[in-house]
Amino acid sequence: MYYSQYLSPIGTLLLVGDGENIHKIVFPDDRRPTEPDESWQSNGSAFTELKRQLDAYFAGTLKEFDVSLAPAGTEFQRSVWDALANVGYGTTCSYREIANAIGNPSACRAVGAANGANPIPIVIPCHRIIGTNGTLTGFAGGLLTKHWLLSHESGELSLFPFEEWSAPK
């Protein structure tokens, strides 16, 4: 497994992959470890295309990623992540809408858990999922990061500088 770090507007992201597929993107404040595993090898060239696409995304010129992904998860989690990939740039939907999209309308909480376990955020856009009442809900990168990403995609970023916004109490 290879890793590289990517300096983004929301902090340094840890990229993990096998040279062909992306396996993880880890936020700096993520609940999961942000340090590479001792068995992984540093290899920035393994992530050239992902970094190019992340650059374009953060510049506001890329709306949909096109990189090979290999997220590890259960069949249910992968079905949720597939549904997340259909939530368009600059839009949001609720956990209930995702549960309906995968044909399991009573699985809202399980959808929330699968959303939270998404190993490849940003590319698989779990930040676009909000509460049924329109509120921001938990996010592995933190609510500030989620708010920043949604503001970036909606074109309202200048109203919400990353370092100045704080989550409502």
pLDDT digits 0-9 by tens, 1-44? 999 999 998 889 999 999 999 999 998 865 555 778 899 999 98
Mean pLDDT of 94-107: 94
d(CA 80, CA 82): 5
Q: What pLDDT, on the 0 to 100 scale, is given for residue 49?
A: 97
Q: Which residues touch 121 (CB under 8 Å, ≥6 apart)?
A: 25, 27, 127, 140, 141
Q: What is the CATH number of domain 2-59?
A: 3.30.160.70
Q: What pLDDT, on the 0 to 100 scale, is given for residue 164?
A: 47
Q: What pLDDT, on the 0 to 100 scale, is given for residue 141?
A: 84
Q: What pLDDT, on the 0 to 100 scale, is given for residue 140?
A: 81
pLDDT in tens, 59-87: 999 999 999 999 999 999 999 999 999 99
Q: Is the pLDDT of residue 134 over 70?
A: yes
Q: What pLDDT, on the 0 to 100 scale, is given for residue 56?
A: 95
Distance of CA 43 to the CA centre of its chain: 22
d(CA 54, CA 8): 8
Closest alpha carbon to 24 in 52, 47, 55: 47
- Domain residues of the chain, as ranges? 2-59, 75-159
* Architecture of the domain made up of 75-159: Orthogonal Bundle (1.10)
Q: What pLDDT, on the 0 to 100 scale, is given for residue 157?
A: 61
Q: What positions carry a catalytic annotation?
A: 126
Judge if pTM exceeds 0.95.
no
Q: What pLDDT, on the 0 to 100 scale, is given for residue 28?
A: 80
Q: Is 118 helix (H, G, I), strand (E, B) or coil?
A: coil
pLDDT tier for residue 167 given thresholds of 50, 70 and 90: very low
